[in-house]
Amino acid sequence: MPDIQPDIQDDQSFKFFSAIVCMVIYCASIRIGFPVCAMAEDTVTLETIVVTAKTTENNYQTGDVDISVTPVFYHNINRSEFEGKIENLAEIIEKQAGVQVRQSGGLGSFSTVSLRGASAEQVMVYLDGVLLNDAAGGGVDLSNISLADVESVEIYCGMSPVNFDRASIGGVINIKTIRSAPGFKSSASIGYGSFNTQKYSGFINHRLRNWDYLISADYLCSDNDFRFKNDNGTPVNPDDDRMENRNNAQLDQLNLLTRFGLEINSDSRLDFINNFFSKDQGLPSWNNSEETDTEFSTAQNISTLKWVKDDVSSFHLDTCTQLDYLYRAEKYDDSNGHIGLGIQKNKYETRRLSAKTFIEYQTANNALQCSLGGQNEIYSSEDLLNHQTTNKSRRFSLTTGFSDTVFLFRHRLQISPGLRFQHVKDESKKAVDDMGNPIELEDRNDNYFMPQMGVKYHFNPAVTLKANIAQYHRIPSFYELFGDRGIFIGNPALKSEKGINADTGFEINKTFDAFLMKKCSGYGVLFMSRIDDLISKTYDARGIGKSENISKAEIYGIECNLTMALNEFASLTAQYTFQDTKNKSKINAFNRKQLPGKFRHSWLTKAQFNYSGVSLAIIYVFEDGMYYDTANLLPAKSKSEINASLSWVWKTMILTFESRNIENNNYEDFNGYPQPGRSYFCSVKFSI
């Protein structure tokens, strides 16, 4: 008989972690739980809190997350950190602790994100409140999001604020595009770099009285013909290794953002936003053959109508309602069979209509938030060679979330319980397997309840304690169920993932009046996740992938960051992430192995120098302990990179020079898909 005894050591680890979370909450309660007369003798004066109105003047609207209040651990990346640079979203967010990005090649290549060891499918990505994760699945390709019109990027690790109607085990990445500002503003930029990389962008913003418009456009192209060592698929035989240029990795992409707004009155605003993106790229073969001509193209358009109405009724409710329509068309052309399973030429289409409402009720010591959303998504795939529809499926979902934030003891203690509900109904009208045979499918009709709890305690003006715990579900995507593209086949028997994540830690923010220390900020976090029915990709001897439920997984880790402003000219940053991703599969070959595609250790150090409009940044990154496969038989090479950037601001011009991977090392986030070595980029931006 199989051994069905529980893993006592694992349960003890989970109980130990839960005890730590509870201890933090309990200690916080004890610390502030004295009678009022006793507290008067030990009063801690907090820093002054400035309350401002929710207007577009300060770039805050109802529906946005108030990051100064949320108990969730987060990263906030402002536009000033990437303004004028030829960087993509993946390169920006991977500089944060707990964030790991995998890229399949050079600029514009397929890129996915992992938060605290979670897979790309377990991380929800939003663009102006529109969920980019779709029923088709595969995770969000970060290379399809242009930074030219991005104002800021918010990363919420683990528990997700209820502002987002959909959440998952890993967390949420929220991308906010530029919002209209008063007056007239315009800019234009041009950049050039290694591998014949070219970038052109333009921006215009105009506000007159109560209406405004904004247009932002950019174009990016690159040959991506970088040099790398090709081992011809025989890593143990160096005799056939040779240096080659990357073949068929060219890129052309266009991004256009238009925004029109009407300020109805001081409490009401209407916005129409349209975001168009298109990309054409070549896909290299595993052996870098010069004959490979495989192509993949993407065209996406998102239209959003958004209405913000504050101070509604006698309860003074703040509301945000939006209606979205997303259309995405992807075309995979491997007509000569250089990459996938034989000859393929397929077209994939996603059409999604969604609506959601966010309502907030605030008092002096309470903030009640509620979100309600629904979406109807239709996915279809077509075999263009055989002129037949291979998949046509529909997913309807209804989500609602509730959170109540209570402020106690003069706002020193904050407790935020919450609950999410999700209803999902799948209708599969047609599906075939990799051999063209019909698949017998059962429609899905499921309901999920997902509770969460967050606690935030201001220990003193410089130190804040936080603790969070939440439960989540993730429904298999159509990609995982049907596997209708590339080298992946489907598994219609997949079950939904179920997970619990928790974290506890502290944040510090202290100013000094010392000669070599003006400000010190940072955080330390202990986190964990337990996932049942984890969906993982496994590969056979041919390299063909299939998604399977591998029982469960456990992730434990540490994040820490320290940033010191030495003076007005120099600052230093150091951060470290450790994550132990244990596979608890029923298959002995996978049990207790590390989950594939996750670095065990990640280090980053950064030195920033600023003087008279000149800014120099030097970043060192080290990552190791990753395996490409579920059985941990293919270890990835440790990554060690040095990147540098130099920028000069003169009047209305910004001149930027960047150098990446200065040591000229080749790495592979995906086995067999090398990334560029040393590269250089230069750009100039003019503003009016």
Question: What is the tens place of the pLDDT at every residue in 395-448?
Answer: 999 999 999 999 999 899 999 999 999 999 988 776 665 555 666 667 788 899
Confidence of residue 286 (pLDDT cuts 50, 70, 90): confident
Q: Which residue has the higher pLDDT, 330 or 21?
A: 330
Place of tokens 């491997």: 334
- Across the range 463-475, mean pLDDT stands at 94
- CA 502, 49, 458, 518 torsion-angle sign: positive
| Amino acid at residue number 394 | R
CA angle centred on 644, ends 642 and 649, rounded to 5°? 170
- In tens, the pLDDT along 137-158 reads 778 999 998 888 899 999 999 8
Confidence of residue 629 (pLDDT cuts 50, 70, 90): confident
- In tens, the pLDDT along 560-601 reads 999 999 988 999 999 999 999 998 887 777 888 999 899 999
Confidence of residue 386 (pLDDT cuts 50, 70, 90): confident
Does the pLDDT value for residue 46 go beyond 50? no
Structure tokens at 30: 């004890």
Which three-class secondary structure state does DSSP give residue 226? coil
- Per-residue DSSP letters for 68-132? TT--S-EEEEEGGGTTT----HHHHHTTSTTEEEEESSSTT--EEEEETT--GGGEEEEETTEE-
Cβ of 565: how many Cβ atoms within 10 Å?
18
Does the pLDDT value for residue 364 go beyond 80? yes
Which three-class secondary structure state does DSSP give residue 19? helix
Strand boundaries in 533-600, DSSP class E: 535-539, 545-549, 552-565, 570-584
- In tens, the pLDDT along 195-234 reads 999 999 999 999 988 999 999 999 999 999 999 988 877 7
Among 386, 673, 684, 527, smallest CA distance to 73 is for 527
Does the pLDDT value for residue 160 go beyond 60? yes
Confidence of residue 43 (pLDDT cuts 50, 70, 90): very low
Does the pLDDT value for residue 32 go beyond 50? no
Does the pLDDT value for residue 51 go beyond 50? no
Give the range with max mean pLDDT: 135-144, 382-391, 545-554, 678-687: 678-687
- Across the range 617-631, mean pLDDT stands at 93
Percentage above 90 pLDDT, the chain: 58
Confidence of residue 623 (pLDDT cuts 50, 70, 90): very high
Confidence of residue 28 (pLDDT cuts 50, 70, 90): very low
- Residue 255 and residue 632: Cα distance in Å, rounded? 39
- Residue 395 and residue 133: Cα distance in Å, rounded? 13
Q: Which residue has the higher pLDDT, 578 or 34?
A: 578
The pLDDT value given to residue 438: 66
The pLDDT value given to residue 440: 66
- Across the range 27-55, mean pLDDT stands at 38
Percentage above 70 pLDDT, the chain: 87
- Mind listing the domains of the chain with CATH numbers? 8-687 (2.40.170.20)
> What is each CA distance from 576 to 249, 424, 524, 541, in whole angstroms?
33, 38, 10, 36
The pLDDT value given to residue 563: 95
Does the pLDDT value for residue 22 go beyond 60? no
Helix (H) or strand (E) holding 40: helix 36-40
- Across the range 465-491, mean pLDDT stands at 81
The pLDDT value given to residue 134: 87
Do residues 600 and 580 make contact, with C-beta atoms less than 8 angstroms apart? yes
Do residues 123 and 115 make contact, with C-beta atoms less than 8 angstroms apart? yes
pTM over 0.75: yes
- In tens, the pLDDT along 93-110 reads 999 999 999 998 988 899
